[in-house]
């Protein structure tokens, strides 16, 4: 849903920064990223911590760490 679409938007913004980096684009990206991270922290992760057993959270954390795409501009 919404969070996945935000991820796609952030990926597009990174592509734009790579091809035509500007201060305005960087500021827009950093603002959008900050808002998105807060949403994940306050909603998604809090819900997961309250709903899933510790073993499941640990397994998911390990998978995320293995599969995360590290983005470096």
pLDDT of 72 reads 60
| Residue position matching structure tokens 């922290």 | 41
Low-confidence ranges of the chain (pLDDT < 70): 70-73
pLDDT of 73 reads 52
Sign of the Cα pseudo-torsion (44, 60, 12, 25, in order): positive
């Amino acid at each position: 849903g919404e969070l996945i679409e935000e991820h796609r938007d952030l990926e597009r913004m990174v592509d734009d920064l790579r091809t035509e980096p500007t201060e305005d684009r960087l500021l827009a990206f950093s603002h959008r990223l900050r808002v998105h991270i807060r949403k994940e922290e306050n909603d998604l992760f809090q819900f997961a911590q309250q709903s899933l057993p510790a073993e499941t959270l640990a397994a998911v954390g390990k998978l995320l760490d293995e599969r995360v795409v590290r983005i470096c501009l």
